[in-house]
Chains A and B, each alone.
Chain A
Amino acid sequence: MQRIRLRYTKRGRLRFTSHRDFQRAFERALRRAEVPMAYSAGFTPHPKVSYANAAPTGTGSEAEYLEIALTEQRDPEKLRLLLDESMPTGLDIVDAVEARTSGLAERLEASVWQIRLPGADRTEAAGAVQTFLAAGTVEVERRTKSGMRTFDSRAAVKRLEVVDDAGDGPVDDACAILRLVVRHSTPAVRPDDVLSGLRATADLAPPVPAAVTRLAQGPLDEETGTVTDPLASDREAATAVRFAAAGPASPPAVQEGPSAEAPDGSA
C-alpha cells in the first residue's frame, strides 16, 4: 500500500465549500480519475482518505492537507495533475508527495493566516494589534455545538502584524491586511477569534466582513515564529530513497515501479 500526501487550496468563491462538501467532491474526483484507492473494511467500505485540520467554511486556504492510501504505486506528481484536473477550479491540488514518515497531523503545529479588512484604517489596525499583543490574556466568546464558550484568544497567537504587501501587489489605502501566526491548540483559536479579540481589546470593528485566507500550516519555529513546509521531511526521505536505490549506474526513476508506465491522459 502506498500513501500519498496532498496539499490543496480553497480559492475564490469556492472558499464557501464546507469540509463535508469538499470530502464528497474529492471522493468523486478519485473515482473519475480512477485512482486505485484502498478501501476500509466493513459493511460500507470507504476509500481511505485522512483529512487534517480543515479550514472553516468561508475562509480561503492555500494550505490544506490530506493523505490517501492506494493499492497500487502511482507517481505522486502525475497523480496530482490527474486529480487537479478532476476537481473544480478553486479546489486545486497543488502539491503531492509520497508519505515516508509518520505523523503529518502532528507536524501541523501552526497556521499563517492573512486577514484582509476592507475599509479599515491601517494605523488604527496597527494600534489595535499592539494593544492585543500587550495583553496577557484576551477572553473571547464563540458559539460552539455545545453553546457559547469563553476562552483565551491571546496565548495561541505567535505573531500578529499589519503588512504592507499581501503578495499580490501593494495594498490600497482603504484596506488593512493582517498577518497572523497562530499555534494549533485546544480549543482551536481561529482568525475570527483573534478578530473578536481585537474588537474586545481595541475596539477594532471593520465595516465589512473580513476576507480570511490560510497561507500556510506546518511545523512552527518557536524562535523566528515562522511556519515551515510539513511535507519537507517526506520530500527529504524520498530523495534519500531515490539516491540509495539508484546507485551509481541505475536509471534514476527505477524506484517508481510499474506505475511509471501508467497512462494518465492528463498531459
Chain B
Amino acid sequence: MPVESVFPRLEALLPHVQKPIQYVGGELNSTVKDWDACDVRWALMYPDAYEVGLPNQGVMILYEVLNEREGVLAERTYSVWPDLEELMREHRVPQFTVDSHRPVSAFDVFGVSFSTELGYTNLLTALDLAGIPIEAKDRTVEHPLVLAGGHAAFNPEPIADFIDCAVVGDGEQAVLEITEIIRAWKAEGSPGGRDEVLLRLARTGTVYVPKFYDVEYLADGRISRVVPNASGVPWRVSKHTVMDLDEWPYPKQPLVPLAETVHERMSVEIFRGCTRGCRFCQAGMITRPVRERSITGIGEMVDKGLKNTGFEEVGLLSLSSADHTEIGDIAKGLADRYEEDKIGLSLPSTRVDAFNIDLANELTRNGRRSGLTFAPEGGSERIRKVINKMVSEEDLIRTVATAYGNGWRQVKLYFMCGLPTETDDDVLQIGDMAVNVIAKGREVSGRNDIRCTVSIGGFVPKPHTPFQWAPQLSAEETDARLGKLRDKIRGDKKYGRSIGFRYHDGKPGIVEGLLSRGDRRVGSVIRAVYEDGGRFDGWREHFSYDRWMECAGSTLPEQGVDVDWYTTRERTYEEVLPWDHLDSGLDKDWLWEDWQDSLDETEVEDCRWTPCFDCGVCPQMDTEIQIGPTGKKLLPLTVVNE
C-alpha cells in the first residue's frame, strides 16, 4: 500500500516556523529507499530537537546498518519545536520522518534512542502527534512497535506503559535480529497480532517487553518481585554486546546536515566501554568490557568519512579517549596525514593522568589551540577515593603546569556536587584546587592573564552503578553547598578574578533522579507533565521544575510514594530495584561490595592493567577485553598530485 508524503501539507506551514530547514531532510548521505520494495520499515527517533539529534552517533549507525540491508528501510524523525507542533495539530499534519516525510504511524517499528531520561516527555509528544495511542495497551496491529534503546533503556520502567519493548546495550546486531523476527511474522500474515510478535521478541531473552512482566509491591511501597506472566519469557533480559568494532565501521557515510547542529565533525568511536571504574558513571558500568577499534580501522574510517562529508574536524570519541592503547600513534598519524588540509583533531574525554603534552601538541597542530578540559570530578582527595576517580591533586597540578608552560592559557575543570558522603568541605576544596592551578599557572607561564574555569554539575545516582543505592542530595542542599563555594571563590582577592565559576541549580537533577531510578509508578508523572504542556526537559528555557513537582504531587501519593522516596532515600541491600530484571552483566553483589568499598574510601584498579576483579560482565555476557597495541602505524595516504 503506497504511503503518501505529508510534505505538501507540511510545506505550507514551514514559512511560519523558526529554522524550517531542520524539517525538510535532504541531508548529504541520507537515504530514501523504495517503500514498497521493503518489508520491514523502521522510523528512528532521537527525542530532542534536530540540532541535537542529527549528530547522534547511535541513530546514525542504526540508520546505516538497517538501510544497508535488502528489503529493510529506516528513516529518521526528531522532536518538532512547539511552534511547529501547534501548527501540525491545527492542520492535522502527523509526526513525520525527515527523509521522505512519511507518517511515523505507517512504519513497523518506531525506535527511540534515549541518551537521557529528559527525553521522555518528547516521546509522548511524538506518539500523540503520530496518532499512535500513548499507552501501549491501547495499540492494535495497525500501530508500529514502539521500541526504546540507548543508555536510559537500562531502566525503562518509568516509560513501561508507553513503550512496547526495549533493547539494552549495543544496537547494531539487535536491530537486525528484531528485523528478522518481524519479517518472518509479517510473512506469515501477522498471526496472533501484536501480542504474538512481542512474545516472539521477548522469548529471545534480548528484547524486554514490559507487558510480559508483572511488578508486585510490598506494603511499604518497595517492589517485592518482578515476575514473567507469559510462558517462555525469561526472568531476566540481557544486554547486547558487539564484539570486534573493526567489523562494524559505522557510520561509514555520516549525515551532513544543511541546518546548523551541535557537533559538526567526523566522529569515530575509537573504543567502546570503560573499566576505569568511576562509581558515579553509568556509561562506564553498562558498556563493559573495553573493546578497541584498531589504529588501522580508525584510519580507514577517518579517511572515508572525511571524503564523504567534507568535515573540517575529526572527533576521536570514547568514554576516555586518551586511554586507547595506541592513542599517541593515532593522533600523530592523523595530524601528519591531514597537516595540509587544515583538519583539526579533538579528543572530547581526556583524563588528567592520561594526558601528555606530546599528545596535546599533536591534537592542536592543525587547528586551534583552544582550552584544555579535565574532569577531576571531586574537590578533595577523600571524595575522589569515594568515587574511584584515581587522580591526585599532584597529577592535576603537574598536568596543568605543563599545559600553561606550553602556551595554553585556559583550563576547564569539571566537578560534581552531591556525591555520596560529601560534606561542605569536600566541595570547598574545589576552590582551593582552582587557586592552586592558577598559582602554578602564573608561576610557570610568567603571566597573569591565564584562566581556570570551574564547571559543576549535580550528581544523579544511576541504575547499574555502585551508587544505585545512594541517597541523592536534595536540591536545597546542593544549592546551599554551591553557594558557599561561589562565595569562597569570589572572595579570593588574589586569584578569584582568574577563576570562572559555572554551575546548575539542583532542581533539574532531582527530576533526572526521579526518572533515572523510578519504577512504573513514575509513568503517571511523565504523562501528567506531558498533558500539562511539558516538553524539551533538557532545555533550560522549557524545563519547569514546578510543573514536575506539582504533577508528582498529584499522582504519586495515591500510589504510596513521593519524589523524596525515589531520590533522597537510601536503598538497602535487600531491596528489589526496579531494573534488577535487566541484566547489564554486572554482578549485583559486586556492585554492593563496590558501594561498601566506596564508603570505606577504598579504590579499585582498572582490569585492563591489573587482574580481573570479578565485576561479572565478561563471564555473564561471554565477552572479553579487546585491546591493542597492534604495533601497526598509520601510514600517510598516497598523495595524488594533480
Which residues of A pack against B, CB within 8 Å?
Answer: 13-14, 16-18, 20-22, 24-25, 27-32, 39, 43-45, 57-58, 72, 86, 88-90, 208-209, 259, 262-263
Given A13-B25, A88-B27: A32 and B260 interface contact (C-beta under 8 Å) = no
Which residue of the partner chain, among A31, A88, A209, contacts B15 with CB atoms under 8 Å? A209
A24-B28 CB under 8 A given contacts A17-B21, A32-B308, A57-B20: no
Q: Which of B258, B260, B264, B342 contacts A14 (CB 8 A)?
A: B258
Residue of A nearest to B21 (CB): A16
Contacts of A39 in B (CB 8 A): 342
Stretch among B6-14, B160-168, B221-229, B515-523 lining the A interface: B6-14
The residues in B between 1 and 32 inclusive whose CB is less than 8 angstroms from any CB of A are 7, 11-12, 14-16, 19-21, 23-28
Measured between beta carbons, the chain B residues less than 8 angstroms from A209 are 12, 15-16
* Complex contact B309–A28 (CB within 8 A): yes
In contact, A28 and B256 (Cβ under 8 angstroms): yes
B368 contacts A31, C-beta separation under 8 Å: no
- Is residue B501 within 8 Å, beta carbon to beta carbon, of the partner chain? no
Chain A neighbourhood of B246, CB < 8 A: none
Q: How far is the CA of A99 from the CA of B264 in the complex (A)?
A: 32
Contacts of A262 in B (CB 8 A): 642
Contact A16 B260 (CB under 8 A): no
A49 to B330 CA separation, bound complex (whole angstroms): 33
| Nearest CB on B from A14, distance (A) | 6
Minimum CB–CB distance from B94 to chain A (whole Å) comes to 18
Query: In the assembled complex, which residues on chain B have CB atoms less than 8 Å from the CB atom of A72?
Result: 642
Contacts of B312 in A (CB 8 A): 31
Contact among A17, A22, A32, A88 with B309 in the assembled complex (CB-CB below 8 Å): A32
The answer to whether A21 touches B260, judged by C-beta atoms less than 8 angstroms apart, is yes
Q: How far is the CB of B366 from chain A (nearest CB, A)?
A: 11
Check: B310 CB closer than 8 A to any chain A CB.
Answer: yes
C-alpha gap A155/B540 in the complex (Å): 47
Known: A17-B21, A58-B14. A30 touches B258 (CB 8 A): no
Give, as a whole number of angstroms, the nearest-CB distance from B75 to chain A.
Answer: 15
A selection of 30 A-B contacts at a CB cut-off of 8 Å is: A13-B24, A14-B24, A14-B258, A20-B260, A21-B21, A21-B258, A21-B260, A24-B260, A24-B264, A25-B28, A25-B256, A27-B310, A28-B256, A28-B310, A29-B310, A30-B310, A31-B310, A31-B312, A31-B341, A43-B368, A44-B368, A57-B20, A58-B14, A58-B15, A58-B20, A72-B642, A88-B28, A90-B26, A209-B12, A209-B15
Residue of A at shortest CB range from B28? Answer: A88
B495 contacts partner chain A, Cβ-Cβ < 8 Å:
no
Q: Which of B14, B307, B311, B341 has the most CB of A within 10 A?
A: B14
Q: A13-B7, A17-B21, A262-B642 are in contact. Are A32 and B307 (CB under 8 A)?
A: yes
Contact A21 B26 (CB under 8 A): no
Q: Does B576 contact A (CB under 8 A)?
A: no
A32, A43, A262: most-surrounded residue (chain B CB, <10 A): A32
B16, B24, B25, B368 interface centre (most CB from chain A within 10 Å)? B24
Q: Is the interface of B mostly helix, strand, loop or mixed?
A: loop
Interface size on B, residues (CB 8 A): 31
Asked if B359 is an interface residue, CB under 8 A from chain A, the answer is no
Whether, in the assembled complex, B259 has its beta carbon less than 8 Å from a beta carbon of chain A, the answer is yes
CB distance from A5 to the nearest CB of B (A): 21
Nearest 6 pairs of A and B residues by beta carbon: A28-B310, A31-B310, A32-B310, A16-B20, A13-B24, A21-B258
Query: What chain A residues lie within 8 Å of B16 (beta carbons)?
Result: 209
* Identity of the chain B residue whose Cβ is nearest the Cβ of A29 in the assembled complex: B310
Chain B contacts for A263, CB-based, 8 A:
642
Instruction: Scan residues 294-311 of chain B and give those whose CB is less than 8 A from a CB of chain A.
Output: 306-311
Give the complex CA separation of A89 and B25 in angstroms. 11
For the complex, give the distance between the alpha carbons of A39 and B310 in Å: 16
Minimum CB–CB distance from A61 to chain B (whole Å) comes to: 15
Assess whether B27 is in contact with A208, with CB atoms less than 8 Å apart: no
Distance in angstroms between the alpha carbons of A209 and B12 in the assembled complex: 7
Given the complex of chains A and B, what is the CA–CA distance between A242 and B306 in angstroms? 37
Give the complex CA separation of A32 and B11 in angstroms.
Answer: 30
Query: In the complex, A90 Cα to B16 Cα: how many Å?
Result: 21
CB distance from A71 to the nearest CB of B (A): 12
Residues of A within 8 A of B311 (CB): 28, 31
Whether the pair A16, B256 counts as a contact (CB closer than 8 A) is no
Closest to B640 in A: A263
In chain A, what residue has the closest Cβ to B307?
Answer: A32
The residues of B that contact A30 with a CB separation of less than 8 Å are 310
| Residues in B whose Cβ lies below 8 Å from that of A14 | 24, 26, 258
Q: Does A88 contact B310, Cβ atoms closer than 8 Å?
A: no
- The interface residues of chain B lying within 8 Å CB-to-CB of A259 are 642
Q: Could you list 6 further interchain pairs (A-B, Cβ under 8 angstroms) beyond the known A16-B23, A21-B259, A45-B342?
A: A13-B25, A16-B20, A24-B264, A31-B341, A32-B309, A58-B15
Chain B residue with minimal CB distance to A46? B342
> Taking the nearest CB of chain A, how far is it from the CB of B357, in angstroms?
22
With a cutoff of 8 Å between Cβ atoms, the chain A residues found around residue B306 in the complex are: 31
Are A16 and B24 CB-contacts (below 8 A) given A44-B368, A88-B258, A209-B15?
A: yes
Q: A86 CA to B260 CA in the complex, in Å?
A: 19
Residues of A with C-beta under 8 A to B307 = 32
Q: Kindly list chain A residues whose C-beta atoms are within 8 Å of the C-beta of B256.
A: 25, 28
A86 nearest in chain B by CB position: B310
**Distance in angstroms between the alpha carbons of A58 and B16 in the assembled complex:** 10
Taking A16-B21, A21-B21 as contacts, is the C-beta distance between A88 and B308 under 8 angstroms? Answer: no
Q: Is the CB of A18 within 8 A of B21?
A: yes
A13, A29, A31, A90: the one contacting B11 at CB < 8 Å is A13
Distance in angstroms between the alpha carbons of A16 and B312 in the assembled complex: 24
Nearest-CB distance from B346 to chain A (Å)? 15
> In the complex, how many angstroms separate the beta carbon of A93 from the nearest chain B beta carbon?
14
Within the assembled complex, what's the spacing in Å between the Cα atoms of A29 and B28?
10
Which A residues touch B310, using CB under 8 A?
Answer: 27-32, 86
Most buried by B among A22, A88, A90, A263: A88
A31 to B306, CA, bound (A): 9
Residue-by-residue, is B30-65 near A (CB-CB < 8 Å gives 1, otherwise 0)?
000000000000000000000000000000000000
Cα(A86)–Cα(B642), bound, Å: 19
The residue in chain B whose Cβ has the minimal distance to the Cβ of A39 is B342
What are the residues of chain A within 8 A of B642 when measuring CB–CB? 72, 259, 262-263
Please encode chain B, from 538 to 582, with 1 for each CB lying within 8 Å of some chain A CB and 0 for all others.
000000000000000000000000000000000000000000000
A28 and B309 CA atoms in complex are apart in Å by 7
A17-B258 in contact (CB<8A)? yes
What is the bound-complex CA distance between A209 and B102, given in angstroms? 23
Residues on the A chain within 8 Å of B24, using CB: 13-14, 16
Which of A22, A58, A89 contacts B26 (CB under 8 A)? A89
- Bound complex: CA A88 to CA B32 (Å): 14
* CB-defined contacts of B259 to chain A, threshold 8 Å: 21
A25 lies within 8 A of B258 (CB):
yes
Chain B residue with the shortest CB-CB distance to A90: B26
Shortest CB-to-CB span from B473 to chain A, Å, is 42
B505-537 CB contacts (< 8 Å) to partner A = none
A208 to B8, CA, bound (A): 12
B1 to chain A, nearest CB (A): 24
Nearest Cβ on chain B to A189's Cβ, whole angstroms: 19
Give Cα A263 to B16, complex, Å: 45
Q: Bound state CA distance, A14 and B7, in angstroms?
A: 12
Which residues of the partner chain A approach B23 to less than 8 Å between Cβ atoms? 16
Least CB distance from A31 to B in Å reads 4
Q: Which of B12, B25, B258 contacts A208 (CB 8 A)?
A: B12
Q: Across the two chains, which residue of chain A brings its CB closest to B24? A: A13
Considering only CB atoms, which chain B residue lies closest to A262 in the complex?
B642
Task: List the A residue with the shortest CB-CB distance to B12.
Answer: A208
- Identify the closest chain A residue to B27 (Cβ): A88
Q: How far is the CB of A2 from chain B (nearest CB, A)?
A: 14
Q: Taking each of B7, B14, B21, B260, which has the highest tally of chain A beta carbons within 10 Å of its own beta carbon?
A: B21
* Bound: A58/B264 CA distance, A: 23
* Chain A residues positioned under 8 Å from B264 (CB to CB): 24
Closest to A45 in B: B342
Please report which residues of chain B, range 325-377, place their CB below 8 angstroms from some CB of chain A when the two chains form the complex.
341-342, 368
